Amino acid sequence: AQSVTQLGSHVSVSEGALVLLRCNYSSSVPPYLFWYVQYPNQGLQLLLKYTSAATLVKGINGFEAEFKKSETSFHLTKPSAHMSDAAEYFCAVTVWGGSYIPTFGRGTSLIVHP
């Protein structure tokens, strides 16, 4: 069975600073990996996804993530944080040939200070 672990339930950064949200996955077969964002009082929306086409994936709002098989990681980064980036971020995994049900991490709350 697949799983994801998000390190850090809260990450605090200053506006303009680098954002780094960590996600490690566990899967015995090639994974598909996703990052979703949840703004207050809203559902989740897709930021980006990895489907084996390229290891560096660019998403919306300036976010990107790099798939590193050797480290079983899919960390999310953004060079410069904006106040509007404050939200809950979820990493998720599905696997090739498996069920189509994404398994989500527990989420990381990004706090952006002025």
Partner 1 sequence: EAGVTQSPTHLIKTRGQQATLRCSPISGHTSVYWYQQALGLGLQFLLWYDEGEERNRGNFPPRFSGRQFPNYSSELNVNALELEDSALYLCASSLLTSGANVLTFGAGSRLTVL
Stretch that binds partner 1, among 15-23, 57-65, 67-75, 91-99 (CB under 8 A): 91-99
Stretch that binds partner 1, among 17-25, 61-69, 75-83, 102-110 (CB under 8 A): 102-110
Residues with Cβ < 8 Å from 102, sequence gap 6 or more? 34, 92, 93, 94
**Of the residues 85, 107, 110, 112, which one makes contact with partner 1 according to CB under 8 A:** 107
Residue number with CB closer to partner 1 (62 or 98): 98
Q: Is 83 helix (H, G, I), strand (E, B) or coil?
A: helix
Query: How many degrees, rounded to 5, is the angle at CA 92 between CA 12 and CA 111?
Result: 10
Residue number with CB closer to partner 1 (73 or 103): 103
Closest CA to 20 of 82, 52, 63: 63
**Of the residues 24, 51, 72, 77, which one makes contact with partner 1 according to CB under 8 A:** 51
Stretch that binds partner 1, among 14-22, 33-41, 54-62, 71-79 (CB under 8 A): 33-41
Measured CA to CA, the distance from residue 60 to residue 30 in angstroms comes to 24
